[in-house]
């Protein structure tokens, strides 16, 4: 058995019996109470699922298996120039809870390279779509089309024991993650570069090869991809893309169908699509002001006008966070180190000064601070990746790491079909 699978199997077996014993002894212990506001308010804050790979603190931000983003950057094995962490290492950490060695990360890189062949019919399915189909729609179609290769679906059809569900889920996860950069790069090149595709370079790491297939070979862009694909990977289980993947997976839909569903959730403007909305909003602002270097006063006026027209300020606010998102700060750090003085980056930083007090003054926005999506576009624009309708696909390639590692855990721990209770307003009124 491969070393990661072996380790995962041991850890999962141990945790499964621990949970069984815990449930037997404390199964009726109360952890939460639900208010009417939560029932009508998108279930905010209700503790109702287990997600082993990461946990979000409203003030501290995300921790992956206990490690904050700055700690990950320090401790995970890095790319060839030793600067940014390799997402392969984060995947290992999320799956088995241990920071991997350089050799272990190299093993993941080689595994994924060896599993990265995309079926020909997936390219054909993409080529059948109009070229102006939104890249996220192309992405979900491509992922669903690869379901024909699902090990889980095949083994379920043959009659697999419940105890073994985790095994083909792990295989599907490894195959699917391995193929995503090729699929995502294919979508980019067909949509924006006349289908002038670039063959993979399997000597590169997962992010480096992705950058290469996008047509961006500079060492700095490869580093941006390493950081980007690391910090977008997971944000505990309740966010819409993670929760959708989890819910669909709970029906024993395989990893392909579950991830494809999760990506449809990521494609919404209140979630992952906000990264395209941010840069679109900035470009529109610069155009309407007729300058690349607006003053803070000009930006404040534009923000007020956006709010007055009944729209949200994209990239600001969060359902859980109550501080500037550490993923925003990690990207700011990257910009300070690699591309200080860039015009669009300067605008993003001015917006960071201007927007929070304005949102605060509305008196209803619970978190006036920037989220992950407020910064990412400016970095991509700097390196010439200006086609912003593509940005959420990059987010999706990364998000697959977390939600699929979590899916492996859900199958290994024997989690059941998810089925929360709904009520009618009639029923609610009768309780008051």
Interface contacts to ligand FCX, rule CB under 6 A: 239, 270-272, 274, 312-319, 359, 364-367, 371-373
Cβ closer to ligand FCX: 153 or 274?
274
29: buried, middle or exposed (CB in 10 Å: 19+, 13-18, 0-12)?
A: exposed
In whole angstroms, how close is the CB of 34 to ligand FCX at the nearest point?
Answer: 17
Cβ closer to ligand FCX: 58 or 312?
312
In whole angstroms, how close is the CB of 44 to ligand FCX at the nearest point?
Answer: 6
Cβ closer to ligand FCX: 178 or 355?
355
In whole angstroms, how close is the CB of 192 to ligand FCX at the nearest point?
Answer: 23
Cβ closer to ligand FCX: 181 or 317?
317
In whole angstroms, how close is the CB of 38 to ligand FCX at the nearest point?
Answer: 12
Separation in Å, CA 284 to CA 126, 288, 315: 30, 6, 15
In whole angstroms, how close is the CB of 305 to ligand FCX at the nearest point?
Answer: 13
In whole angstroms, how close is the CB of 191 to ligand FCX at the nearest point?
Answer: 22
CA–CA dist 232, 226 (Å, integer) = 10
Cβ closer to ligand FCX: 58 or 289?
58
Cβ closer to ligand FCX: 79 or 87?
87
In whole angstroms, how close is the CB of 392 to ligand FCX at the nearest point?
Answer: 9
58: buried, middle or exposed (CB in 10 Å: 19+, 13-18, 0-12)?
A: middle
> Looking at the annotation, which residues are catalytic?
271, 318, 373
Strand partners, 55: 63
Cβ closer to ligand FCX: 16 or 350?
350
Cβ closer to ligand FCX: 190 or 271?
271
Q: Residue with the closest Cβ to ligand FCX?
A: 317
Of 382, 335, 374, 334, the closest CA to residue 354 belongs to 374
In whole angstroms, how close is the CB of 368 to ligand FCX at the nearest point?
Answer: 8
């Amino acid at each position: 058995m491969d070393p990661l699978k072996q380790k995962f199997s041991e850890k999962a077996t141990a945790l499964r019996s621990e949970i069984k014993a815990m449930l037997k002894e404390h199964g009726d212990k109360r952890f939460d109470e639900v208010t009417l506001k939560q029932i009508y308010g998108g279930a905010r804050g209700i503790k109702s699922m287990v997600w082993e790979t990461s946990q979000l603190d409203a003030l501290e931000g995300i921790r992956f298996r206990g490690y904050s983003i700055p700690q990950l950057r320090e401790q995970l094995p890095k790319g060839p120039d030793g600067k940014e962490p390799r997402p392969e290492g984060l995947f290992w950490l999320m799956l088995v809870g241990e920071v991997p060695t350089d050799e272990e990360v190299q093993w993941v890189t080689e595994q994924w390279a060896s599993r990265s062949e995309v079926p020909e019919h997936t390219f054909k399915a993409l080529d059948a779509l109009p070229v102006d189909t939104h890249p996220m729609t192309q992405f979900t179609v491509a992922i669903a089309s690869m379901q024909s290769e699902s090990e889980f679906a095949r083994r379920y059809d043959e009659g697999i024991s419940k105890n073994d569900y985790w095994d083909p889920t792990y295989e599907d996860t490894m195959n699917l993650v391995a193929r995503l950069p090729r699929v995502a790069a294919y979508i980019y090149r067909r949509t924006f570069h006349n289908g002038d595709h670039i063959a993979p370079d399997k000597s590169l790491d997962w992010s480096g090869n992705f950058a290469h297939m996008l047509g961006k070979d500079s060492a700095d862009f490869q580093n941006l991809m390493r950081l980007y694909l690391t910090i977008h990977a997971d944000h505990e289980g309740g966010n819409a893309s993670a929760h959708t993947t989890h819910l669909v997976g709970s029906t024993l839909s395989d990893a392909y169908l579950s991830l494809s569903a999760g990506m449809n959730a990521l494609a919404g403007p209140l979630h992952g699509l906000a990264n395209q909305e941010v840069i679109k909003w900035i470009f529109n602002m610069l155009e309407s002001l007729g300058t690349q270097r607006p003053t803070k006063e000009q930006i404040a006026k534009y923000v007020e006008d956006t709010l007055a027209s009944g729209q949200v300020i994209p990239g600001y606010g969060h359902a859980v966070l109550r501080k500037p998102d550490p993923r925003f700060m990690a990207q700011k750090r990257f910009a300070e180190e690699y591309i200080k003085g860039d015009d669009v980056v300067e605008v993003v930083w001015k917006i960071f000064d201007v927007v929070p007090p304005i949102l605060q003054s509305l008196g209803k926005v619970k978190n006036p601070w920037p989220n992950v999506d407020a910064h990412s576009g400016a970095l991509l624009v700097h390196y010439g990746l200006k086609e912003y309708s593509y940005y959420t696909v990059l987010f999706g390639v990364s998000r697959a790491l977390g939600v699929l590692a979590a899916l492996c855990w859900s199958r290994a721990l024997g989690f059941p079909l998810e089925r929360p209770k709904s009520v009618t307003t009639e029923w609610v009124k009768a309780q008051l």
